[in-house]
Amino acid sequence: MSVALRPVPGVPALRLGRRRRDELVWLVIADLHLGLGASDERPLGAPGSQAHELAETLERLAKAQPADGLIIVGDAKHPIVGVPGPLRPVLFSFFAELLESGLRVELVLGNHDVGIERHLPREVVVHPSSGTVRNGVGLFHGHRWPDPWVLAARRLVAGHLHPGVRFAPTSREPRSKQRAWIRVDLSRAKVEDADGRRVRAKELIVLPAFNPVTGTEALNRERPGRGRTFLYRHFLIPGDSRAYLLDGTDVGPIATGSLDPPRGRPPRASSGR
């Protein structure tokens, strides 16, 4: 049976699952980066990306779909190491608000989520950075190798890359840069895992960042910045990786040919949290 997985039109979120008695329907998002832009003068962060605003957006989205739960595929918070004191109640309130709305909430740890678990409501299910599988889809953040059983899923979903496209000829026109989905056809490609075994998945979908004020990598123009090259090097296959705007517009292949082949293998993910 095919997996029910589709983008939500106009929104950087996937709907995973079918509305039937024995299967939950999930919204899948990545890269919230709560706390981004926070300062002494603006402790809740930049307008448009504050935790309460994002929680309300997700609640409305879950009702509109409808969905039973939310899975965040990494980087719920922005500070990479630890959780600053002012951000702790913000994180707790964000997740508590989602839970109080009746949603189940799960988090796959990303590279920015170090130390987050102790500041979440206990009802939040936390998965290690090695990923998890829901409704037959392998979910991992994308900064390192997931577990082999995650890669064994027929379809994969990751975040981390903050993918987008830029239509202007130079970066001096930032408004022309837009968030985008990346879909990779793995059926013809030979992608190997950390142990040199072929990845059997047929497709990878890379989520755009949910937070609208995070940085965006214009993959149709340039390779990603330092720290976001793992997915790009190992999964985004030249000729089989395409970008789509949030409204579904196909903007063509991305510039995977501009990056040298991977040298060696990055460490696999730890099985612990």
Among 68, 52, 56, 72, which Cα is nearest to 12's? 72
pLDDT at residue 197, rounded to an integer: 83
User: What does residue 171 show for φ and ψ, rounded to 5 degrees?
Assistant: -75, 0
Instruction: Look up residue 147 and give its two tokens.
Output: 């577990």
Three-state secondary-structure class, residue 240: coil
**List of the chain residues with pLDDT < 70:** 1-3, 21, 38-49, 169-175, 256-273
pLDDT at 85: 86
pLDDT at 198: 84
What pLDDT, on the 0 to 100 scale, is given for residue 174?
59
pLDDT, residue 2, reads 59
The pLDDT score that the predictor gives to residue 273 is 45
Q: Which pLDDT belongs to residue 263?
A: 41
Structural tokens at position 252: 């063509």
pLDDT at 176: 74
Q: Which of 94, 82, 143 is nearest to 118 (CA)?
A: 82
Of 179, 32, 53, 197, the closest CA to residue 116 belongs to: 32
Q: Which residues contact 157 (CB under 8 A, 6 or more apart)?
A: 5, 14, 28, 73, 137, 138, 139, 140, 204, 205, 206, 207
Q: Which amino acid belongs to residue 266?
A: P
pLDDT in tens, 36-45: 876 666 666 6
Where are the chain's structural domains?
Answer: 5-258
Packing angle, helices 51-64 and 87-100, rounded to 10: 20
Say which residues have a Cβ less than 8 Å from residue 9's Cβ, sequence separation at least 6: 246, 247, 248
pLDDT at 47 (0 to 100) = 62
pLDDT for res 272: 43
For residue 48, what pLDDT is reported? 62
Distance, C-alpha 19 to centroid of its chain: 23
Q: How far is CA 183 from CA 48, 168, 172, 226, in A?
A: 27, 22, 27, 22
CA distances from 193 to 21, 206, 267 (A): 35, 17, 11
pLDDT at 104: 97
Residues 218-247 pLDDT 10s: 888 878 877 788 888 888 877 789 999 999
